[in-house]
Structure 1
Amino acid sequence: MRVTFASEPATPAHPNEDFVGATADAAVLLDGASAPAGVTSGCSHGVRWYSHTLGALLLAELTESTEPLPEILARGIERVTSLHQDTCDLSRGDSPSATVVMLRRTGDRVDWLVLCDSVLLLDTGAAEPTVVCDDRLNHLLKPSRDRVRALEPGTPEHAEAMREHVALVNECRNRDGGFWVASTDPRAAEEALTGSVPAEKVRAVALLSDGASRLVDRFHLATWREVVGMVDRYGPAELIRRVRRAERSDPDGKRWPRGKPSDDASAVYCTHLNGHRP
């Protein structure tokens, strides 16, 4: 398997809370969930610590184990929880969290897992790639998010709407009827979207954090097929470059209302999954 990737923080001064890693037979992408400004957590560790610690554990497990991906993810969440459960208050529901995308080639199969709203694109040569994204988060929080985005940042009304939005996120996170993300509860792994396909049918696979996928699902400046063609021809860094160009053209979010002017952006592109390029 051949892997290329690019990952970039939202701004040069901002630590990148995404994690990307790969071996000859596996790739992992995690998108750490940043807390809004002014929101505290019962955990003394940062989001970057969480996403990078869990990501490294998952990648190591993928190189050693052929177990189902949800089992590997559940064990990884348990191990990270054990690293800070004695020093942090993990009972408040506001501990660091991350989305997860996992890809593994085992023999003649390609297995994948997607937890929360990062994106996996599976290119089998059809007219359109298969798009895998757990969009429960977006459906649940859209009314609250739209209210925040409609208000002027820095106003009391915006601050109050943001507090209500954060409370709703905490209320819905990792609960039945809500959305699921990697944090402290290994049961989240059972809620991930998973699949397996013959390696011979896969031309390429792309893993995208929502900071990279926003060129399609937020800005509507490309199709998923165009994204696959773009990263195939020019590499993942080109996708991020075009996202940044769009963000700079709309710094105040008037054309494309969004929670962050810029976000950490990561893209992974995997080919030769059957030992050769179709």
Structure 2
Amino acid sequence: MRPDQDTRTTDMRLSLATEPSSPSRPNEDFVGVTSGAVVLLDGAGTPGGMESGCSHGVAWYARMLGSTLLAEVTQSAAPLTELLTRSIKTVASLHDFTCDLTHPGTPSATVAMLRRTDDSLEWLVLADSVIILDTGTAEPTVLSDDRLERIGALHRAELDALPNGTPEHTEALRRYIEVMNGHRNREGGFWTASADPLAAEQSLTGTVLADQVRAAALLSDGASRLTDLFGLATWRQLLDLLANDGPQSLITRVRAAEHEDPQGARWPRPKTHDDATAAFWPFPQPRLL
């Protein structure tokens, strides 16, 4: 699906945009739409030169899990947590005979899902992708799982003190990832979709009345950084940008900020650029007669 392509059904219109961190790297994000549902994943793994135990890679994992989730949500009205459990099992079965899925660096992904029924919106988030609901109030409702960020903040001081792009930063990033792998999918740590289907039970979920929501956005952390890392827009301003100019405009603003701070001096971060994906789903309000 091309960036900013509209997807329409009788009651559904979305705009999507996704962009890799670099033209020379595969996009490890995934976004897909089926009638009445949106799925967004942000793949995670190990940087080049580090062992992962998997011959397929992070982009493959994100695509496989995302497409499997889309198939599940199309075919079943089961709770979103159950659909994620099934999907993790399915994808694990595709490569457990060729790859070491017990390796701490095996590919994983964040998950954000939104499904609309006749009168409600069901949501699920796992790890640091974000769902924003515009309920018509001054500040929108932001649905996120901050366990990864809370754990990461405890171990990122050395990494944040070093300029991006230097050998020292690269080595510190590897050490940071090794430490974070030790906290992934463990009690007291953070949870992502990977090889263990039990991770799905750690998802944050909820339901809201559909008629209370004017629009929704799903963002990978490479897109949400305009607000939650750079502080260049409030969540309301970010939603307005999506509504007025579309998801590609959001990614363009993120890239501009990244280019202004290539070494992470103003905004310390593990990656100067990250894959960025955004989906915007407006809900037409009923007209008063």
TM-score, with length taken from structure 1: 0.95
Q: How does 1:129-208 map to 2 (within 5 A)?
A: 129-152=140-163, 158=169, 161-208=172-219
* Contact 2:110–2:127 (8 Å) recurs in 1: yes
Please state how far the C-alpha of 1:39 moved relative to its aligned partner.
1.2
Aligned-partner Cα distance in 2 for 1:184–1:152: 34
* Contact 1:6–1:266 (8 Å) recurs in 2: yes
Q: Secondary structure at the match of 2:159?
A: helix
**Deviations for 1:27-84, whole angstroms, at most 9, x for unmatched residues?**
0000011422321111111100000000001011111111000000010000000000
Structure 1 spans left out of the alignment, 5+ residues = none
Quote the residue 1:228 is aligned against: 239
Q: Secondary structure at the match of 1:251?
A: coil
* Contact 1:2–1:273 (8 Å) recurs in 2: no
* Contact 2:264–2:272 (8 Å) recurs in 1: yes
Aligned-partner Cα distance in 2 for 1:59–1:162: 33
Quote the residue 1:20 is aligned against: 31
Q: Does 1:56 align with 2:61?
A: no
Aligned-partner Cα distance in 2 for 1:277–1:10: 42
Aligned-partner Cα distance in 2 for 1:185–1:277: 46
* Contact 1:111–1:194 (8 Å) recurs in 2: yes
Structure 2 spans left out of the alignment, 5+ residues = 1-11
* Contact 2:163–2:265 (8 Å) recurs in 1: no
Q: Secondary structure at the match of 1:111?
A: strand
TM-score, with length taken from structure 2: 0.91
Cα 1:154–1:200, aligned 2, differ >3 Å: closer, same or farther? closer
Cα 1:101–1:17, aligned 2, differ >3 Å: closer, same or farther? same
Query: Could you tell me which amino acid in structure 1 is paired with residue 31 of structure 2?
Result: V
Cα 1:43–1:265, aligned 2, differ >3 Å: closer, same or farther? same
Aligned-partner Cα distance in 2 for 1:155–1:243: 22
**Deviations for 1:215-249, whole angstroms, at most 9, x for unmatched residues?**
00111000000011110111111100100111111
Quote the residue 2:8 is aligned against: none
Cα 1:216–1:277, aligned 2, differ >3 Å: closer, same or farther? farther
Q: Does 1:126 align with 2:137?
A: yes
Aligned-partner Cα distance in 1 for 2:244–2:164: 39
Aligned-partner Cα distance in 2 for 1:112–1:154: 37
Q: Secondary structure at the match of 1:262?
A: coil
* Contact 1:53–1:80 (8 Å) recurs in 2: yes
* Contact 1:15–1:48 (8 Å) recurs in 2: yes
* Contact 1:250–1:256 (8 Å) recurs in 2: yes
Quote the residue 1:97 is aligned against: 108
Cα 1:277–1:195, aligned 2, differ >3 Å: closer, same or farther? farther
Match of 1:70 among 63, 81, 86: 81
Cα 1:120–1:273, aligned 2, differ >3 Å: closer, same or farther? farther
Quote the residue 1:239 is aligned against: 250
Quote the residue 1:253 is aligned against: 264
Percent identity for Structure 1 against Structure 2: 57
Match of 1:7 among 6, 18, 22: 18
Aligned-partner Cα distance in 2 for 1:92–1:13: 27
Could you say what the CA RMSD is over the residues aligned between the two structures, in angstroms? 1.7
Q: Does 1:108 align with 2:119?
A: yes
Match of 2:279 among 248, 268, 274: 268
Number of matched pairs: 277
Structure 1's consecutive aligned runs of 4 or more residues displaced over 6 angstroms after TM superposition are none
Q: Secondary structure at the match of 2:182?
A: helix
Aligned-partner Cα distance in 2 for 1:250–1:5: 26
Aligned-partner Cα distance in 1 for 2:82–2:202: 11
